[in-house]
Amino acid sequence: MSNIPNIFRLKAAIQEYDWGKPGNSSLVAKYAPTSVGKDYKVDENKCYAEIWMGTHPKGTASLWDEPQVSLRGLVMSSSGSFIGDQLVTSTQTHQAKFANSTEVPFLFKILSIGKALPLQAHPDKKLGESLNDADPAQFVDANHKPEIAVALNDGFRGFVGFREPQLIARDLQNVPEVRELINDDSLLEEFSKELDRGSLKVILTKLLQLDPNYVSHSIAKLVSRLERQGPSAIVGNEEAASSIKLLNNQYPGDIGVIVVPFFMNLISLNRGEAIYIGADEAHAYLEGNIVECMAVSDNVLNAAFVPPETRNLSTFLSALTYTSRSPSYYTLPASPYSRSEMGKTVAFDPPLEEFTVLWTRLTGSPSTGSGPSPISVQKRLDEEYEGKEVLCAVDGPTIGIVTMGKVSIEEQSAKRESVELEEGGIVFVKPGSGLVIQVIGEDNAEIWWSTCVE
């Protein structure tokens, strides 16, 4: 579609979930005027959880100036223009990564987490296809959903993957309320001895399928003991005590209050730190603000912290690999971005073909006098350098969101099309478009991007 510029502003979709932060305390609500529109009304009694930037049918973005025109519709009308011919068109000598696709290959998000998300896992491609075939109303796409999360500020916490088996076995043996729930000493002894995935699956299955009233009674006893004895009530895993009390306040009597702290790794992230979670990995984010990106899918298998009738227990339990890993396994380090000419951008590059997440940081230019001295001229040149980034073109689509400050973004063609964005503003960049990003004003600026590199 030749009438659409090479770069253009997007209007995102906002998702309201119970686990989001309420009202204007949510980063999602803070960004709403510039990510969705100035007429967006924030209700202090609602929870604002996610900003979606992509083409997923449950929340497609649209053109900022023409919101009746969806990004999904544009991509479907001309996938080569918006996803990239290299990515969607195969030839005799080239196999396209996303042959004949009419979707932006990633779903880019901002999350503002006020309480624990459901204990969940995402299916791999094979399972995603079978779930979509069997129940397209619940599983609206047939894709997998590996994802990364990057903390926007300090203080993100989340539970990810199974802890080392010896740590799980120790806690199951040491906490009488959990032993009571499992009610099978021989099974616990076998797991403590063998530390095998088979026994772990049997124990987890038994716990997740228990009668909710029985579970609630045991949790009440455990919480009461924690109130009396403090964190030392759980020998060797004192940090579990605070998690148990917090989760029970949020989801009273839910089996996740037991399963999550005792079976899973608690991971904390500071600003700019990231984790990667593959398909079939259990996780439950707890609190914080993050950038999240995933293969374009909304398939999820829930096992706790949701109403019993919405849980997918049998599929969740069969999908997991029951592989125990240390927290460091999930860390995704940043590295210099090879297509950055000014060195102001780093990349978070998971082992996927769908996306790479980028983080651009620019320094603002303080107001100074206009004296003619060579020193002040050089200072101004240095400040301009620090406030500017040049990103070389890629063969796939790019979506960016400004999370700090104000910037101008100009594409490097003869047209020199540009947009100016403030905090929360979102831009779509067509394949093959190089960019010049310049900070506007005295404040520092940050932009997060998701891109697909051939």
122 is in an annotated binding site: yes
The number of angstroms, rounded, from the C-alpha of 300 to the middle of its chain's C-alpha atoms is 13
Residue located via tokens 């049998």: 314
φ, ψ at 422 (rounded to 5°): -100, 180
∠ Cα 147 349 115 (to 5°): 35
Virtual CA dihedral for 44, 149, 106, 420, nearest 10 degrees? 60
* 56 known ligand binder: no
Judge contact between 200 and 165, C-beta under 8 A. Answer: yes
- What single-letter DSSP state applies at residue 250? H
Q: Where would I find the H helices in 320-423? A: 374-386
Determine if residue 250 is labeled as part of a ligand binding site: no
CA gap 84, 86 in Å, rounded: 5
Spell out a b/e string for 214-240, using b for 16 or more CB atoms within 10 Å of the CB, else e: ebbebbeebbebbeeeeeebbeebeeb
Cβ neighbours of residue 397 closer than 8 Å, sequence gap 6 or more: 82, 83, 84, 104, 105, 428, 429, 430, 431, 451, 452
| 453 Cα distance to chain centroid | 19
Rounded Cα distance, 452 and 356, in Å: 6
Nearest residue to 273 (alpha-carbon basis) of 348, 354, 351, 360: 348
CA separation for the pair 89, 98 (Å, rounded): 8
With beta carbons less than 8 A apart as the criterion, state whether 40 and 18 touch: no
Instruction: Write down the H helix ranges in 56-196.
Output: 71-77, 79, 85-88, 125-134, 165-174, 176-182, 185-194
CB 96 within 8 A of CB 87: yes
CA 454 to chain CA centroid, nearest Å: 22
Strands of 222-333 (E only): list them. Answer: 264-269, 274-277, 283-295, 301-304
* Per-state percent for the chain, helix, strand, coil, to nearest 5: 30, 25, 40
Question: Residue 427 has what DSSP assignment?
Answer: E
Enumerate the known binding-site residues: 120, 122, 147, 283
Enumerate the known binding-site residues for Zn(2+): 120, 122, 147, 283
